[in-house]
Structure 1
Amino acid sequence: MWQVYSFSVLILIVVFSTYCSTVNETVFVNATKSKLKILGIFGFLGKSHFDVFKPLLEELARRGHEVTVVSYFPRTDDAKAKEPLPNYKDINLVDPEIDVYVNIVDLKQISQSLFFYMEELNILMAEVTCNTSLRHPAITELIRSDEKFDVILTENFNTDCFLGFIHRFKVPYLAFSSHQIMPWTNNDMGNEDNPSYIPIYFFGFIRPMNFLDRITNTVGLFLYKAAYEYWFRSVHQVIANEVFGSDLPKLQKLAQQSSALLVNTHSSLFGSRPQLPNVVEIGGIHIPSKINSLPKDLTEFLDSAHDGALFFSLGSLIKSTTMPKEKLDAILKVFSSIPRKVIWKWETDELPHKMDN
């Protein structure tokens, strides 16, 4: 039985690798023409994360696979009308009382302490995600159902509580990361993460690191891994056991069963590093092959940018209007001094200071 499952996973890896090998054209190759029943589990409330996975999930459905997707971001009515995908099924986790993570990070509250990001990842995101998503009635119904799947796709981020589905359905799984690999993930995959020359995700060190950076990087890597194993996982294990049953294996053991890890990075941006064969960079997978036209006002604005344009965005999670005044003034001063047109994701109608460009 597991030989069949492993063969199915191999097919998917080939499919994903082929998908990532082209820039301007999406090409899928499925040598056996088999149709797989795929379960996608994406319980994190961050829209920017799901936007990375969505194009691949939809493409799998276009290729004839039966795709069931658990998320907070079901296909919209407009998307369904534009392109019906009858074998793409949403299990909708949307709750009117729970907001998805868009414009929620207040920059004034961000500290530079070593464990600030761990606190945010665990308390704000992971525990809320596990408690909210896993206790949703739709999740309960899925767990109790007689559904059968060939493979599971799920996000690798700040919790393993959703890996209970691996135990529930007894199938192999592939993990996705919408950004650089988290420090604890390398342990689970057996992937190289030597802190002497590989900067960890949270510090922003630039290679080559100096001696002090390497010391900080080494200590930070140890502390982050320890915090995840003995703080995050211990809490999430309790929640997962309540949902999936007391016979659920340790989450770490389930995490180590990943057949592959697909990472939204590329060496041209993040530098080269040794990777296992089943750790595959898929940077840019969310970029569509067909680009929609820009709104008229943006088109006119960019057409008039004879000296070029600069696009500045802190992402969908961060609320730019919460930026501390001294930092905002410094950025606006630089932007106003350059000849280029500037496009900035800003949450109110006007900037504090008028800029001609």
Structure 2
Amino acid sequence: MKLLAVIALVLCTLSVKPLEMESAKILATFPFSGRSQYIFMETYLKALAAKGHQVTVINAFRNKATPNMRFIEAMKGHEFSDEMLGLLNEPFFWQQLKAMDYIVAKFTEITLEDDSVKQLLNSGETFDLVLAEMIQMEPLYAFAQHFNATLAGFSSFGTDNHVDGVMGNISPMSYNAIASSPRTNRMTFVERLSNVYETVVQEVYRHWIHLPAMEKMFKKYFPNSKKTMTAVLDSFSFILLGQHFSLSHPRPYLPNMIEVGGVHIFHNPKPLPEDIKQFIESSPEGVIYFSMGSNVKSKDLPQETRNTLLKTFAKLKQRVLWKFEIDELQGKPANVLIKKWYPQPDILAHPNVKVFITHGGLLSTTESVYFGKPVLQLPCIYDQHMNVKRAQRMGFGLGLDLNNLKQEELEKAIKTLLTDPSYAKASAVISELYWDQPEPALDRAIWWTEYVLRHKGAPHLRATSRDLTFIQLHSLDTLAGLFGVPLLVALILLKLSYKLLRGKSQKCPHADKLKNQ
């Protein structure tokens, strides 16, 4: 009997075939004119295309032809990029929310008004999956229901209370700071108080100002939508998050919220262009790499700030690679090489690169940790301030105020990172933690994407919390039933007892005599 059981088990095992993945049609939207968000997803989208999926990308810049990929280039956003970035320096939180709201509304409308996008919307085409960026551009999420597709999200900065809310994830304010703050998961009482205040203000603004404005735009561009905007917001099947617990902190996630921090990085760096390779390898004291990313441009830095950087770099023994967006830089020292674009991950992979000076964006921070490089961060906007605090707390970086940059402080910070081994050591430790994963982030992102496609949106991953009201989710109704009803009964009994005792005292036979005495 045992032999028959073993044979039956073997035959059963042989009969189970892995689910085959048919080619899917995928649409990904990148409404912002900066390249950062697209860089986060580019490797992933190309990998999907390489597996035979048909990928359509809406973005705001020129693209190289790629097999199985079609690009819709909505370029008008570049006309407003500088104006948009200038709005992000508002000093007060409410004004910051208004500025961000104006920016997302502007880029959403620019995307929907683009002729090529309109042509796609009117094409009668269908898709299997729509990937949308999680930056509160709700009308763009309607592409999914318009094309009869499953809706999925991606977030290059990771998660926040908005992303958590969409997925029904629990996000305690006590140790999850809002993404635009300089706070980390280790907050003092005052910081936690600020975090609660700003979260409440953010939610008030979102529900009373942002969402009504987005709903008007939703109805304007999708008047025949089968779903309301609220229903569209509730239809996300999964989200790819550009973070990893080794870079941020452990926190709750639902199974359809996938950490893929570093998904954009190639595990095998490409060979460097010869001039860059020669510049790096012929520097006996090593090299410093400096880039402010794709949204903040070095050429637009105030002249005083540029002069501070140039004077500091001129005094260094190390050579400096500086991502600078124009061909000429007046006063450039001989030890500085400027280029409009650098293959950043390939440069950071080189052992002769000692320090990375960056704006502190999450992609750049991830790359610095991935390759074990200490960082000097000069934050400008949004999550960059939080990333600086994390780098300082974790010991692999320092931060300075770009708007008030002093040469003495800059020199001291660079010297500290170059000479104090603790920063390189901390970076190496975190790098080891990041690398210790069961599979590369890219493989994980591809697997989950195809899993959701195979299972028609994977509705079994949907959290029940998304179907509960605030009162039900936090058990306020059951707590009221558990403690409120007994308390109410006790109050009623107390009142009845009081009336009964009072009635008895009024019927006392000696009451009149006592009154006359």
Q: TM-score, normalised by structure 1?
A: 0.78
Aligned to 1:13: none
Letter in 2 for 1:44: F
1:102 CA drift (Å):
7.7
Against the structure 1 CA distance between its residues 183 and 308, is the aligned structure 2 distance closer, same or farther, given a 3 Å change threshold? farther
User: 1:115-156 deviations in whole A, cap 9, x for unaligned?
Assistant: 344233221x21111211112222222222221222222211
Gapped runs of 5+ residues in structure 2? 1-17, 337-517
Alignment of 1:164-243 (within 5 A): 164-243=142-221
**Aligned pairs, how many?**
318
Q: Percent identity?
A: 25
Residue 149 of structure 1 contacts residue 169 of structure 1 at CA under 8 Å; is this kept in 2?
A: yes
Contact 1:153 1:176 in 2 (8 A): yes
CA 1:170–1:223 in structure 2 vs 1: closer, same or farther (change >3 Å)? same
Moved more, 46-55 or 287-296: 287-296
For 1:12, the equivalent position in structure 2 comes to: none
Letter in 2 for 1:203: S
Aligned to 2:60: 72
Query: Cα distance, 1:286 vs. partner?
Result: 1.2
Q: Which residue of 1 aligns with 2:242?
A: 264
- Amino acid in the other structure paired with 1:93: A
Does residue 39 of structure 1 match 2:49?
no
Q: Which residue of 2 aligns with 1:144?
A: 122
Given candidates 32, 48, 52, the residue that maps to 1:60 is: 48
Q: CA deviation at 1:356?
A: 5.1
Q: How many Å separate the matches in 1 of 2:253 and 2:224? A: 35
Q: Is 2:176–2:184's contact at 8 Å kept on the other side of the alignment?
A: no
Residue of structure 2 in register with 1:105 after alignment:
85
1:284-323 aligned within 5 A:
284-323=262-301
Cα distance in 2 for residues equivalent to 1:130 and 1:117: 18
> CA contact under 8 A between 1:47 and 1:100: conserved in structure 2?
no
1:350: which partner in 2?
A: 329
> Structure 2 CA distance, aligned partners of 1:102 and 1:283?
28
Paired letter, 1:105: L
Could you tell me which of 114, 122, 132 is aligned with 2:93? 114
- Structure exhibiting the larger radius of gyration computed from Cα positions: 2
Give distance in 1, aligned partners of 2:83 and 2:311.
24
* d(CA) in 1 for partners of 2:217, 2:73: 21
Instruction: Give the secondary structure class of the aligned counterpart of 1:275.
Output: coil
Distance in 2, Cα, partners of 1:352 & 1:116:
38
Map of 1:94 onto structure 2: 75
Q: 1:253-296: CA deviations, max 9, x gaps? A: 31221111101112221222211111111111112345333333
Q: Secondary structure at the match of 1:259?
A: strand
How far 1:327 sits from its partner (Å)? 5.9
Residues 54 and 69, structure 2, Cα contact 8 Å, conserved in 1: yes
Match of 1:50 in 2: 38
Instruction: Name whichever structure is richer in helix by fraction.
Output: 2
Alpha-carbon distance in structure 2 between the residues aligned to 1:248 and 1:230 = 24
Aligned-partner Cα distance in 2 for 1:259–1:208: 31
Q: SS of the residue aligned with 2:131? A: strand
Query: Gapped runs of 5+ residues in structure 1?
Result: 1-29
